[in-house]
Structure formats: C-alpha cells, structure tokens
C-alpha cells in the first residue's frame, strides 16, 4: 500500500512540475523559483528559472546565489549522481547537465554556459561485445568547470575533464581532456588555441 501511495505522489509531483514549468511571465518565474527550491537539496538567493526546465534527482543538486537557468535546460542527478553549482551562474537554453549513474559535476563561481551545451559525467559501458550496450550499465566520472569560465554554444564536455579557471571553450568543441587555466580551446577534440593574458594574482577582480 505504501508503494502505491508513493507512486501516486510521484505522479502528482510530475504533473505539478510540468504545469509550473510552463507558466509564462513574472508569475511563472515566481512559481518556478519556489518550486525549484522545493525540488533541489540546497539553493541560494536570486534564482531565475525559465520555462520547461527539467529536474531529475533534485535531492542530489545544490546551487548557489544569483543563478539564471534559461528555458528547456535539463538537470539529471539520479542514481547517485551529484551536481553542485556555485554563485553567479548563467546557463542558456537547451543545455543538458547530466551527472546521473554515479557521475559528479562541479561548476564553480562566475561561469557562463551558452545554449545547447552538453555536460555529461557518465558514459555507457561498452567493453563486452557479447552483451548489448544498453544492458552494460554506465561508468561515472567527475567534471569540474573552474571559476570565471565561458563555455560557448554547442559544446560537449565528457566525464573526467577539469576546465581550469578563467578559460574559454569555443563554440562547437568537444572537450575530452583537461584544460589548463587561462586557456582558449576549440575543436573536436578541443585543443589549445591560445593562452589568455595571465595577470598577477592581485590584479584579478
């Protein structure tokens, strides 16, 4: 009986979440902000949530202050995934941030993420040729995006990658290896294009 009530409750929550995610205007922002704070483990202040934002595994998601999440962005942190987002973050439309299946994603402060970005901290296992890939489970890893980074449109970041502070990833890139701080990278796979000017530490605002 308890299982039946849980199923009914989960279904009601899904319906309420869908309705709240589609309400336009300022009223929609207010309702989605309140609902977002209920759905995730921890939130700060000044959270703006666009239309159609999807959350799975909210109990494993923490976000900081001054967060702008634009329309149709998805967060997946179910099945032991973890997502932690810092302060002063802008996430543009249609972005997918997936840490499900044992992955972990850490986005530090003052990060810009453009539209259509995919950040995925777990991959399908495919070692066996005797079993369909769909039945082989996942391999989780960790992704870290450092302070003051700009992730441009249509970028894909794979598990096991750390992007150093103050770096830029050019549009359309696929990042499969670590990026050093103060770097501009691009391509498939992403490679160093140039280094940004590296000021004295005391000059960084």
The catalytically annotated residue of 6, 124, 131, 196 is 124
Is 124 tagged catalytic? yes
- Give tens-digit pLDDT for 133-167: 999 988 899 999 999 999 999 999 999 999 999 99
CA distance 163 to 157: 9
- Give tens-digit pLDDT for 173-194: 999 999 999 999 999 999 999 9
pLDDT at 160: 96
pLDDT at 4: 79
* E-strand stretches of 121-164: 122-124, 138-140, 142-145, 150-151, 156-157, 162-163
**Burial (CB count within 10 angstroms: exposed 0-12, middle 13-18, buried 19+), residue 4:** exposed
Torsion angle, alpha carbons of 51, 56, 62, 67, to 10 = -10
Alpha helices (H) in 23-130, listed in sequence order: 25-39
- Report the relative pairing of strands 138-140 and 168-169 from DSSP bridges: unpaired
Is 159:120 a contact under the CB 8 Å cutoff?
yes
Residue whose entry in the numeric block shows the structure tokens 């997502």: 83
Is 167:186 a contact under the CB 8 Å cutoff?
no
CA distance 73 to 91: 8
pLDDT-flagged residues of the chain (< 70): 198-205
């Amino acid at each position: 009986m308890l299982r039946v009530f849980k199923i009914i409750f989960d279904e009601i929550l899904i319906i309420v979440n869908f309705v709240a995610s589609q309400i336009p205007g300022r009223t929609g922002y207010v309702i989605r902000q309140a609902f977002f704070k209920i759905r995730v483990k921890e939130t700060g202040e000044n959270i703006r949530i666009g239309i159609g934002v999807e959350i799975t595994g909210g109990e494993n998601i923490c976000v900081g202050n001054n967060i702008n999440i634009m329309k149709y962005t998805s967060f997946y942190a179910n099945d032991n995934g973890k997502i932690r987002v810092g302060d002063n973050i802008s996430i543009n439309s249609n972005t997918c941030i997936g840490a499900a299946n044992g992955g972990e994603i850490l986005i530090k402060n003052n990060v810009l993420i453009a539209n259509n970005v995919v950040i995925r901290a777990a991959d399908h296992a495919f070692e066996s040729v005797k079993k369909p890939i769909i039945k082989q489970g996942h391999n989780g890893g960790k992704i870290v995006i450092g302070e003051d980074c700009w992730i441009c449109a249509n970028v894909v970041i794979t598990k096991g990658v750390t992007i150093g502070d103050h770096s830029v990833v050019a549009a359309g890139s696929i990042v499969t290896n670590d990026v050093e701080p103060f770097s501009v990278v691009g391509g498939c796979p992403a490679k160093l294009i140039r280094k940004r000017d590296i000021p004295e530490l005391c000059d960084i605002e």
